[in-house]
């Protein structure tokens, strides 16, 4: 079978339920095996060549169209939420009276560390659409625990996203054993290192995890939100929607878990967390010169 690195493939045994890109090929005991990254799902997997089938442009376009529809629907719902929040801000800031000055908003700074540059680019594009200030860094999952401390000191984020690829392997052990996961252990260690720098759940809000990640360990390590309670796959953009909800919730209000999850593409099976304070601050009067300084 002629399958090369960067080819898009599906797994026959899983009825091609996820589209993967081949990122590496290795030979084990005379048999070829491919290392796979999900195209839109934060999943890493390996599969023998005999279980792979190339995915043609027609099927890829169909998947792309379907994925874009889901993203557009989630973005529309989120935008409606933001509009309602802004109306509330306007009323609260002016105490119900006709305002004489425009207010400005500071939604908080995000540091997004991602193990996959393609996923990071998709997330950065969505952050830009939503209007969230973000610093994006591509970092191998295994290096994250050593590098996170210096990044926090350098960028001083209000929200930290730690994600990339992950997967649970039943062959490696039980679902509660961190050693049964591709990168959950590294995500947990990274959260712990971040909490050494900023212990407060309100001063630094953390999202951590990827597909099938060890949710319980991530929350216990200090994450506010994490994946994946039911060990299911999550969409590449799911962290962005949770971050956006926190960014546009005032710092005096709490983000209830369901409110953060309802507009994600995966929902409560793939994502969960704890009640968390928002980070948005509103001020006035608005000065157009602030745009040039931000």
Beta bridge partners of 214: none
DSSP annotation string for 247-274? HTSBTTSEE-HHHHHTTSSS-TTT-EE-
Q: Distance (Å, rounded) from C-alpha 265 to C-alpha 128?
A: 19
Cβ contacts of residue 162 below 8 Å, gap of 6+? Answer: 113, 144, 148, 187, 190, 191, 194, 206, 207, 208, 209, 223
Cis before 161? omega within 30: no
159 close to 279: Cβ distance less than 8 angstroms: yes
The chain-wide mean pLDDT, for the chain, equals 88
262 close to 292: Cβ distance less than 8 angstroms: no
Q: What is the pLDDT of residue 29?
A: 81
Q: What is the pLDDT of residue 130?
A: 87
172 close to 193: Cβ distance less than 8 angstroms: no
Which range is least confidently modeled, 3-7, 60-64, 134-138? 60-64
Query: Has residue 262 got a pLDDT over 80?
Result: yes
Query: Has residue 176 got a pLDDT over 90?
Result: yes
Nearest residue to 115 via CA among 151, 146, 139, 143: 139
Q: Distance (Å, rounded) from C-alpha 26 to C-alpha 244?
A: 39
Q: Which residue has the tokens 């995890």?
A: 209
Q: What is the mean pLDDT of residues 65-77?
A: 78
Which range is least confidently modeled, 74-83, 85-94, 130-139? 85-94
Q: What is the pLDDT of residue 292?
A: 53
């Amino acid at each position: 079978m002629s399958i090369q690195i960067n080819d898009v493939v599906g797994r026959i045994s899983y009825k091609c339920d996820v589209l993967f890109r081949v990122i590496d090929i290795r030979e084990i005991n005379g048999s070829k095996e491919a290392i796979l990254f999900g195209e839109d799902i934060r999943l890493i997997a390996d599969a023998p060549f005999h279980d792979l089938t190339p995915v043609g442009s027609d099927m890829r376009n169909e998947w792309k169209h379907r994925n874009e529809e889901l993203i557009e629907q989630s973005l529309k719902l989120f935008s409606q939420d933001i509009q309602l929040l802004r109306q509330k801000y306007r009323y609260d800031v002016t105490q119900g009276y006709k305002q004489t000055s425009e207010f400005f908003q500071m939604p908080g700074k995000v540091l997004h560390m991602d193990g996959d540059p393609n996923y990071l680019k998709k997330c950065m594009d969505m952050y830009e659409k939503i209007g969230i200030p973000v610093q994006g860094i591509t970092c191998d999952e295994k290096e994250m625990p050593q590098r996170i401390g210096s990044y926090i000191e350098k960028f001083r984020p209000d929200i930290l996203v730690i994600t990339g690829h992950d997967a649970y392997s039943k062959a490696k052990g039980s679902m509660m054993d961190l050693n049964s996961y591709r990168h959950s252990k590294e995500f947990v260690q990274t959260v712990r290192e971040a909490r050494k720098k900023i212990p407060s759940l309100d001063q630094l809000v953390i999202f951590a995890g990827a597909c099938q990640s060890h949710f319980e360990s991530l929350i216990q390590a200090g994450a506010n939100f994490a994946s994946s309670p039911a060990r299911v796959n999550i969409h590449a953009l799911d962290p962005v929607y949770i971050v956006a909800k926190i960014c546009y919730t005032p710092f005096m209000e709490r983000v209830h878990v369901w409110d953060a999850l309802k507009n994600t593409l995966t929902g409560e099976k793939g994502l969960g967390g704890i009640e968390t304070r928002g980070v948005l601050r509103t001020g006035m009067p608005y000065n157009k010169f602030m745009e040039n300084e931000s």
